[in-house]
Chain A
Amino acid sequence: MLAEFGVRLPEETEIRVWDSTAEVRYLVLAMRPTGTERLGETELAALVTRDSMIGTGLPRAPATEAVGR
């Protein structure tokens, strides 16, 4: 199903699904992309997408100039 969303993960990735069957709601804390160690909160927030907060996508990759040299 993730492939339908264009997401391909390594086979060894552990996948956890939360089905919100009651009124408790969940959101996904987007996984921090590599190469973002020097980014601040605003720059990191710009990488977060809707899909990365519902578990059907990964955050955007940082722009190349933002990657630490």
Chain B
Amino acid sequence: MSYRSHSDLGGRTGIGSVIAGAPEREGEVFHSPWEARALALTLAMGATGEWNIDMSRSARETLPDYPSLSYYQIWIAALERLLAERGLVMPDELAAGHALHASRPVARVLRAAEVGTVLRRGSPTQRTRDDAPRFAPGDVVRTRADPVDHHTRLPGYARGKVGRVACCHGAHVFADGSARGLTEPHWLYTVEFEAEELWGADVPGPGRQVVSIDAWEPYLELA
């Protein structure tokens, strides 16, 4: 097992409070101007088609120093990594902070005038499949228990747990495959879990607590 995500923190204890310091004020989007540039650079390079969103998530989540970086520091560190892996930036350029060599052309370039249109259009992930979904709303399912040696969106806290299918969203791009360049889409479901199934009997309060995740069919078996 060589693949290790540092971002799968849901349900883990002993890592301090969720809010470090004061929460951001209402309407505060960036802490400083460089964060806006980090967002813009990442979106602009994403638009080139050199990688997809699952590859960029994987690049972020496997950064060895992930736990010590802020949100946009993670974005920039992963962007540098993706660029370097594809030969679009050289180590001496990262050190110098500016271009030193002619770079190879990329397939698509996001022009400033198109940014609004492109962002509004988004990147829909709905696809089609020839077969029918295996599961229907109400089915009781168990999630995959084994860890996998690649990018996944099944949270650690929801591995090997029994839940109920709430709905099927149709076939979607499958993150686990897409991060590895595979293109087969899979049926996507919302699956609900009782808090006791995820966290044990020690759930406070008499009120019911339910956690829903979106899970692709390969994550699930009938329970």
Residues of chain A whose beta carbon lies under 8 Å from any beta carbon of chain B: 1, 4-5, 9-24, 49-51
Contacts A12-B205, A12-B206, A15-B207 given; does A24 touch B213 at CB 8 Å = no
Looking at the assembled complex, report how far the CB atom of B13 sits from the nearest CB atom of chain A, in whole angstroms: 11
The prevalent SS among residues of B at the interface is loop
Mask: chain B, 148-188; 1 = CB below 8 Å from A; 0 = not = 00000111001000000000010011010000000000001
Which residues of A are found within 8 Å of B209, using beta-carbon distances? 14-17
Number of interface residues of B (CB under 8 A): 33
B26 at the interface (CB under 8 A from A): yes
Partner of B26, one of A9, A20, A49: A49
Total contacts A-B at CB 8 Å: 73
Alpha-carbon separation in the docked complex, A10 to B175 (Å): 38
B62 at the interface (CB under 8 A from A): no
In contact, A22 and B206 (Cβ under 8 angstroms) = no
In contact, A5 and B207 (Cβ under 8 angstroms) = no
In contact, A15 and B210 (Cβ under 8 angstroms) = yes
Which residues of B are found within 8 Å of A18, using beta-carbon distances? 211-212
Partner of A22, one of B23, B208, B216: B216
Contacts A11-B204, A19-B10 given; does A24 touch B211 at CB 8 Å = no
Partner of B212, one of A4, A13, A17, A51: A17
B221 at the interface (CB under 8 A from A): no
B18 at the interface (CB under 8 A from A): yes
Alpha-carbon separation in the docked complex, A10 to B53 (Å): 40
Looking at the assembled complex, report how far the CB atom of B46 sits from the nearest CB atom of chain A, in whole angstroms: 14
Alpha-carbon separation in the docked complex, A39 to B175 (Å): 44
In contact, A14 and B207 (Cβ under 8 angstroms) = yes
In contact, B212 and A16 (Cβ under 8 angstroms) = yes
Contacts A5-B19, A49-B26 given; does A21 touch B210 at CB 8 Å = no
In contact, B19 and A21 (Cβ under 8 angstroms) = no
Alpha-carbon separation in the docked complex, A19 to B211 (Å): 7
Which residues of B are found within 8 Å of A10, using beta-carbon distances? 207
B139 at the interface (CB under 8 A from A): no
